[in-house]
Structure 1
Amino acid sequence: MATRTIGGWVLLGLALFGTASSGRSAEPLAEYFRIETERLAARPLLGIDSAERWKASRPELQRQCREMLGLDPMPEKTDLNAKITGVVERPDFVIEKIHFQSAPGLFVTGNLYRPKVVTRPLPAILYVCGHGGVVKNGLIYGCKAHYQHHAAWYAANGYVCLVVDTLQLGELPGLHHGTHHLGMWWWISRGYTPAGIEAWNGVRVIDYLTSRPEVDPTRIGMTGRSGGGATSWWLAAIDDRVAAVAPVAGITDLTDHVVDGVIKGHCDCMYFVNLYRWDFPLVAALTAPRPLLFENTDKDPIFPEDGVRRIYGHLEQVYRWYGASDRLGLVIGAGGHIDSTEIRHPSFAFFNKWLKGQEGPIEEPDRKVAIEDLKVLKPGEVPPGNRNDTIHETFLPEFVTPPVPASPAAWESTRDRWMGQLRAKVFAGWPSEDETPALDLKRVADLNRDPIRIRVFDYTSQPGVRLTTWLITAAKPGREQPDPLTLVVADETAWRARWSWLAKAQEETFQPPQGAEWTEILRSVEQGSALAIIAPRGVGPTGWDEKNEQAVKMGLHIRRRFPLLGQTLEGMQIWDVRRALAALRTVPELGNAPVELVGRGQAAALALWTAVFEPGVAQVTLDSPPVTVRDGPAFLNLSRVLGMPQALALLYPRTVRLVGTSPEPWRWASDLATKLGGNPPWPTFDHAESR
């Protein structure tokens, strides 16, 4: 197909028409999130309905959980290089100030509490902290100082207790907030979550504890509250060495997180990358049949009681399958997101029962020490090789560019493998064939503004997602069907700059804009082309206004909901474009029209991936496309499957035109085309300046 001028013009112009009133919803996509969450919540245990099926499925479910934490395969267990930097003597226990490396350069700082005299191996408690960082006079003492009263009780009552800092708030800080407000959406494309770091650090803490002669490796308990409660769930799910666990205020279900919006109160360490589309009861159920005390408060705003009780109901079923109902307990204390004796004392009694075989009243005198005594590192000390602040860059491997396949057969094998991985690991959140609803296409406007005709169509992309596409053709077509159909994919930047005037196109008083760019569009349409514009969900009429700080935060947390459902916003926008294409194909004169997809900037990636999964697209024009996965839209796990040059190669031998980018970043795709006999060179590059 010959390149049409309209592809360049639709990318370059129309900024002069301004921005129409958005009319945007205060709760964008609320119905969609409700429907999608209900679909997952309806299968909290994935349809497993018997003890036999559960026990047979559990090993694979544990593997999937590790994968979604970024821990499959598990990282290499390198030397911990544990160092004790000081000892604090108390009347009834000893505190060792310790750090170790859970992976080379990934430092964990903590305090190990133990009785003064140990004559036999003791039960041990791994205490994982919530977000209670302590800073005094500019010095970081970590979370362990805030939660020290927990560890002190255990040591004074015959346990070894290692309380460790979190990555975000430890003495050597890292990040928990990549997607929360730092714009690191590439974490999702990498499949990275700091929940995986915290779980991995917990694995290595158990490795360390089991190496200590004071510790009985068969009696290791785990507890923590808030973020520490979440880490308790993660680690108990994937590491069966945890003999008993008491998570506090660390979990609720997708209904609370996604529909009711408690995600706004949580950073990224609370979530895995939900590739397999689980609801959180499934994570909790992997603890069974080990002793489990589920604790929460009745007015916790970020772990609401209703979600806690829903999860507990599913846990009761799984524990019944094991005949272990006596090992499951629930404590709901009074108050908000607080650390109270009403919660602490039952957990102390729980571990006494299951790790020591003791029962009796709990006493908790004040045993706190000065926070200065708990600091592991000297003021200003940074151990050589520390990578805590950059571990998100390297903890998970990226795609390694392979040699260019040397033959058509080798390329076909590689392409098929990648396509399988893309369907299973990147775009698994798309509806299956039997889940795809009818388009329910409605023509909501049909304006004849000679010499052009503008038709406005609404269609259903998914339940809860109703979108609009605009079709511009000649008012009096000179042919039976246009050639080609150019479908422009708009992101929010393009919508605001070029296409917002379309929002008024269904009004009877609408008049086409004027200007050189419009004149060029008219010329192309009159020559037989058709132009369609699609604003996928989150763009234009269905977008969220980001003109103030509160709205920006709302938009971020809307976007963060998608990975909790095994999706990304941009991944579902590709689905929207595919559905727009299907809708346009129902227009009689477009049924067999050759299609050109056009996108600029981030939308170029949407156009590229739409074409990958729509073989009927004959031509693609990509203006200033992102040259790396990291620079582009977020797609689940994509940078673990392939890079942008390889993505482009999936379009060979269809016509691809690249604008505003140099050939070098795309060399792999060009070399592949050459080896496969591409002539003339593929793709083509347009270096002309924007007109």
Structure 2
Amino acid sequence: MELTMNRIILGVILFCGLNGGLLAQSGELCQGAYFTEKQGAEFLEAETYQDLATWEHKSQQIRDRILKGLELSTLPPRPSSKAIIHGKMILDGYSVEKVILETLPGFYLTGNLYRPLKQLESYAGILAPHGHGQNPTGRYMEQTQKRCAALAKMGAVVLAWDMIGHGDSQQCQHKIPKAAKLQTINSLRALDFLESLPGIDKQRIGMTGESGGGTQTFLLAALDDRIKVSVPCVMVSAYFFGGCVCESGMPIHKAAGFQTNNVQIAALAAPRPMLLISDGGDWTKNTAEVEFPYILSIYSLYGQARLLENVHLPHEKHDYGPSKRKAMYVFMAKTLGLNLQAVQNSQGEMDESSIRVLSPEALSVFDNQHRLPAHALQGDAAVMGVL
């Protein structure tokens, strides 16, 4: 199992191009396995809180550090251009459309919008960021398409979008130095867009992603209480801080005299409903004994321990596989008022067989009628210039 986890970590290093490895730390950056497992547990033991006021003071310090570290203490203005939605495809119980959304002047988020075909009085909205993966990457992966389609069949409007440098998002490389800033801006603008759609119930907004998408999930939930329900999958760890520049390449965890970790950042979702999904094949292998009890103690300060759950799968690996999706469907159905039966067979078992996995070509947002605008930024230097 240890070998499996090491291979996963090595893959993330190689994918994101962090030269020198995860253990080569400098300055205020906390990257990869910044703590040992023992140090991570000891950090949490030393950071216990007995009353809500003390925790809320600490939580504000953590938010301030994230915003300052991401250079987002003052948010950039929203571009005035309207989102382009096109290419609607009708499938079994849901539709898939293509979205092009300007998030910064000259920078465009690219993704797919999944909607229920059944007319409802209102719809939950769910953001679905993805993690780092092999080809086909990102929103094209089977696991991403299946969870988005299933949630749409259950009654939610779901937005899946590309990490920078993935899929259709090719205006810069994934590993630009301020990738974490840009992807957080994209998450915020994705949320703005989702809330603006007709029929969306702003009190039923959820977010879930795996690995790097899990990082995006707990970061946005920490910064924006419009996220009412969150499900970070295979990511929340006491000792692992994220292996890619898009997660830990900016100083969000540490400053002079200050230290936090991803467990405390995830705890900022309290007291909103949250499900931690963890497994035995990566840095979430200790969640049931270390990370979950700590976050539960924070929820208990609010008197809302019942709103935090953990599904730990000790024999599974680092992915958003069927059993992890099943756990998420149950939680989202319960907390967002979705129809779980829409993805169950007559025996009450999860059934995704009606979901069609589409090709990257079918999901791509660009075609002869819809091209990247002429004023779009091109290249790492141009994108870094606006950041």
2:363 corresponds to 1:374: yes
1:352 aligns with 2:352: no
Partner of 2:15: none
TM-score relative to the length of structure 1: 0.45
Q: Tell me the distance in 2 between the aligned counterparts of 1:28 and 1:98.
A: 39
- Show the counterpart of 1:222: 207
The residue aligned with 2:377 is 387
CA contact (8 A) 2:123 2:200 kept: yes
Per-residue Cα deviation, 1:286-326 (whole angstroms, up to 9, x for no partner): 011110000021122xx241267422221011011011111
Relative to structure 1, the CA distance from residue 225 to residue 43 in structure 2 (aligned partners, 3 Å threshold; closer, same or farther) is closer
Matched residue, 2:267: 285
CA contact (8 A) 1:98 1:111 kept: yes
Superposition pairs of residues 226-625 of structure 1, within 5 angstroms: 226-254=211-239, 256=240, 266-271=243-248, 272-273=250-251, 274-276=253-255, 277-300=259-282, 303-306=283-286, 309-333=289-313, 334-356=315-337, 361=348, 362-371=350-359, 372-378=361-367, 381-387=371-377, 389-390=379-380, 393-396=384-387
Q: 1:144 to 1:152 in 2, by over 3 A?
A: same
- What is the SS of the residue equivalent to 1:154? helix
State how far apart, in whole Å, the 1-side matches of 2:211 and 2:24 are: 29
1:219 is matched by which residue type in structure 2?
R
1:159 to 156, 159, 163: 156
The one of 165, 169, 177 aligned to 2:166: 169
Report how far residue 94 of structure 1 moved: 1.4
Whether the 8 Å CA contact 1:44–1:280 is kept in 2: the answer is: no
Structure 2: gaps spanning 5 or more residues = 1-22, 26-33, 342-347
2:373 aligns to what SS in structure 1?
coil
In the comparison of the two structures, how many residue pairs are matched? 337
Q: Distance in 2 between matches of 1:364 and 1:80?
A: 37
Q: Name the % identity.
A: 25
Tell me if structure 1 keeps the 8 A contact 2:287–2:312: no
Distance apart, 1:101 and its partner CA: 0.8
Distance 1:343 1:92 in 2: 22
Q: Which amino acid aligns with 2:122?
A: P
Query: Residue 70 of structure 1: CA displacement?
Result: 2.5
For the Cα contact (< 8 Å) 1:280–1:311, is it kept in 2?
A: no
Map of 1:109 onto structure 2: 110
Residues 99-154 of structure 1 deviation map (CA, whole Å, 9 limit, x = unaligned): 1011111211111111124342211111001123655xxxxxx6222121111101
The question of whether the paired residues in 2 share the 8 Å contact of 1:149 and 1:366 is answered with no
Kindly indicate whether the alpha-carbon contact (under 8 Å) linking 2:163 and 2:169 is maintained by their aligned counterparts in 1: no
SS of residue paired to 1:55? helix
Residues in 1 aligned to 2:45 and 2:205: alpha-carbon distance in whole angstroms: 28
Q: Decide whether aligned partners of structure 1 residues 43 and 149 sit closer, same or farther in structure 2, where only a CA change above 3 A counts.
A: closer
Q: Is the 8 A contact 1:167 1:388 kept in 2?
A: no
Structure 2 counterpart of 1:96, one-letter code: E
**Secondary structure of 2:127's match?**
strand
Q: Is the 8 A contact 1:251 1:308 kept in 2?
A: no
User: 1:82 and 1:67 mapped to 2: Cα distance?
Assistant: 29
Could you say which structure has the larger radius of gyration?
1
1:51 alignment partner in structure 2: 52
Whole-Å Cα distance in 2 between the matches of residues 114 and 34 of structure 1? Answer: 42
Q: In structure 2, how many angstroms separate the alpha carbons of the residues matched to 1:89 and 1:295? A: 31
Q: Which has the higher contact order (CA 8 A, sep 6+)?
A: 2
Cα-Cα RMSD = 2.8
Shift of the alpha carbon at 1:279? 2.1
Q: 1:154 to 1:28 in 2, by over 3 A?
A: closer
| Contact 1:85-1:377 at 8 Å conserved across structures | no
Distance 1:309 1:227 in 2: 22
User: Contact 2:140–2:167 at 8 Å: present in 1 too?
Assistant: no
User: Quick one: distance in 1 between partners of 2:274 and 2:130?
Assistant: 18
Aligned twin of 1:91: 92
- 1:469-523 Cα deviation digits (max 9, x unpaired): xxxxxxxxxxxxxxxxxxxxxxxxxxxxxxxxxxxxxxxxxxxxxxxxxxxxxxx
The amino acid that maps onto 1:73 is T
| Correspondence 1:145 to 2:140 | yes
Query: Contact 2:41–2:238 (CA<8 Å) still a contact in 1?
Result: no
Please say if residues 131 and 227 of structure 1, whose CA atoms lie closer than 8 Å, have aligned partners that are also in contact.
yes
Say whether the 8 Å CA contact 2:152–2:158 is kept in structure 1: yes
Change (3 A) 1:40 1:388: farther
TM-score normalised by length of structure 2: 0.79
Q: 1:209 and 2:191 equivalent?
A: no
**Residue 226 and residue 365 in structure 1: after superposition, are their counterparts in 2 closer, same or farther (change >3 A)?**
same
Q: Label 1:38 to 1:123 Cα distance change in 2 as closer, same or farther (>3 A).
A: same
The C-alpha deviation readout for 1:599-619, integer Å capped at 9, x for no partner, is xxxxxxxxxxxxxxxxxxxxx
Report if aligned partners of 1:172, 1:382 keep a CA contact under 8 Å in 2. no
